[in-house]
Amino acid sequence: MPWDRNQMAARAAQELEDGMYVNLGIGIPTLVANYVGDKDITLQSENGMLGMGPFPFEGEEDPDLINAGKQTITELSRTSYFDSATSFGMIRGGKIAAAILGAMEVAENGDLANWMIPGKLVKGMGGAMDLVAGVGRVVVVMDHTNKHGESKVLKECTLPLTGRGVVDRIITNLGVLDVVDGGLKIVELADGVTEEEFRAATEATLV
């Protein structure tokens, strides 16, 4: 059985080590926070906060306290706030250990596309280009194939790039891949997924 959203998030949480400062993207990456267990992880929200807490209780929402997805959140005892230039200074400056992000396509050389589909409404890249260019390690969490069954793990991205050669590891519903010299290396298969099935769903070169 391929992994579901929560199992993918739980697998992605294994990428995080005690003491890390981490930025989580929107969608499945947000769920990763539910699976960090006892590890001491500080979440960064690029609109200007380190130490992001959970959603507030009903009635305690604060319009001055939101995450990068514009959702109301809370602070923790460790929280600090700063302006956007400082926030992206720590991102661009390599101080954030890892980013876990969603993707539309990833290529075997680590190219990432996750911000626009030509011909469709373009909303913008937000902080995604800064994150993938700056953080120490980029982990992508996404479905292995699109809704038409076509591979999202490609030889070359077809969509406009968010970053060139920026992805380190890919976690999909079928398993885990690393970007290495010459292509992608299978690190792990989801429970019950065969290597044959995995290869059939992958367009990229597997080494």
Cα–Cα distances in angstroms (integers) from residue 100 to residues 54, 150, 199, in the given order: 18, 23, 24
Which stretches of the chain bind other proteins, using CB under 8 A?
45-49, 54-67, 69-73, 75, 81-85, 87-89, 91-92, 111, 121-130, 133-134, 160-165
Tokens found for residue 106: 């990833």
Spot the catalytic one: 46, 58, 61, 150: 46
Contact between 207 and 199 (Cβ < 8 Å): no
Instruction: Closer to other proteins by CB, 129 or 206: give it.
Output: 129
Instruction: Closer to other proteins by CB, 131 or 176: give it.
Output: 131
Residue 173 CA to residue 190 CA, distance in Å, equals 7
Instruction: Closer to other proteins by CB, 1 or 121: give it.
Output: 121
Contact between 119 and 160 (Cβ < 8 Å): no
Instruction: Closer to other proteins by CB, 65 or 171: give it.
Output: 65
Beta carbon of residue 185, minimum distance to other proteins (angstroms, whole number): 23
H or E element that contains 91: helix 84-92
Contact between 139 and 169 (Cβ < 8 Å): yes
Beta carbon of residue 64, minimum distance to other proteins (angstroms, whole number): 4
Residue 182 CA to residue 197 CA, distance in Å, equals 21
Residue 46 is among the residues annotated as catalytic for this protein: yes
Beta carbon of residue 180, minimum distance to other proteins (angstroms, whole number): 20
Contact between 12 and 171 (Cβ < 8 Å): yes
Beta carbon of residue 198, minimum distance to other proteins (angstroms, whole number): 28
Q: Which residues are catalytic?
A: 46
